Amino acid sequence: MTGGGTQRVGIIGWPLGHTLSPAMHRAAFQALGMTDWRYDALPIPPDQLGSHLRQLRDEGGYRGLNVTIPLKEVVLPFVEADETAAALGAVNTIDFRTKGGHNTDVGGLLADLAAHELHLPRRRTLVLGAGGAARAAVYALAQAGAVLAMHNRTVARAERLIAELGAQVELLQAQELATWRPQLVVNCTSVGMMKEGEPRATEQSPWPAGVPIPTMMTVYDMVYRPARTKLMAQVEAQGGRGISGLGMLVQQGALSFAIWTGREAPVEVMRAAAERDLYGGGEA
C-alpha cells in the first residue's frame, strides 16, 4: 500500500483505441500489492490537451501519464523535457510531481535488446523506417555504439532524421541492403502489422522485394501483432533469428512505472499481462 488515497496514472492519446498499457500496469500493481493505485485510458483531442492536462493534474489527482500518438510531440510545451525527450522531440511519460517529460522508448528498446543478449557496440545494424519509432531507435543504437545504416522509401525523410539527430548513419538504397550485410535489423515501420479490415496486411514485409536476405542475421521487429511477422519468418528461413517488439513495449512501460512509483516494475508479470490481452489464449 502506498497510502494517501488513490494514486492515479493513465495513458492519453487520440483516438486511443485499444492499448495494452492498462493491462500491464494493473497487473503490476496487483503483483506488488499496490491496491490503492489505478491506471486509466484517457482519450484526449490534441486541441484540448492543455486544459485536460491541468484538470487531470489539479482536479483529477493524477500522478503521471503515458502519452501515445498523436500527442507525443504536442505535449512538449506543457512539460519540462529531459535530455532524451528533447533530443527526440517526443514525450511518452509525464511525471506531474516534477512537470518532467520523459521518453522511455529509448531505454525500453535497449533493455529488451539486452534481455535477448544482443551486444550492440560495433554491431552492424540496419534501421528500417524514418518515423518516430526509427528516431528513437537510431538515438538508442547510436548511444550504444552500433554501426548504423538506414533504409526508407522516402530518402528525404531519412536524411532529415539523420541530420536532426546528428548521428553517424549510412543511408542505403534497396539494392545495397544485402551487400552491406547487417548483423541486426530493427524494423521501425508498421509494415506487416495486423490491421482491422486489411486481412492481407500480415502478408507484407518491409524488406524490399527481390533483395536477398543475408544469412544468420537477427531481426528485431517492433511490430508485435502478429507475434511472428513475415519479416521474422523470412529471416528465420535464412538461418537467422526473429524477435518480436512486444518486449520493448513492456520495458518502456516498466520504466514509466518506476518513474511514477519509485519501485522496480515486475517485468515478467507485465509481459504476461500484455500477451494475455493481445493474444488471448494463444498467439495471433
Locus of grid cell 542505403 = 172
**Cβ neighbours of residue 59 under 8 Å, at least 6 residues apart?**
none
Active site residue 72: yes
In angstroms, the CA 187 to CA 205 distance is 10
Strands (E), 54-123: 62-67, 80-81, 93-95, 100-102
**Cβ neighbours of residue 212 under 8 Å, at least 6 residues apart?**
178
Q: Let me know: does 161 contact 173? Beta carbons within 8 Å.
A: no
State the catalytic residue, choosing from 72, 99, 195, 230.
Answer: 72
Residue 75's alpha-carbon distances to 41, 79, 109, 139, 177, in angstroms, are 17, 7, 22, 20, 36
In angstroms, the CA 104 to CA 110 distance is 10
**Residues linked to residue 43 through DSSP beta bridges, in sequence order:** 13
Among residues 55, 37, 42, 38, which one has the least CA distance to residue 11?
42
Q: How many Cβ atoms sit within 10 Å of the Cβ of residue 189?
A: 23
Rg (the chain; Cα; Å): 19
Could you give the residue numbers annotated as active site?
72
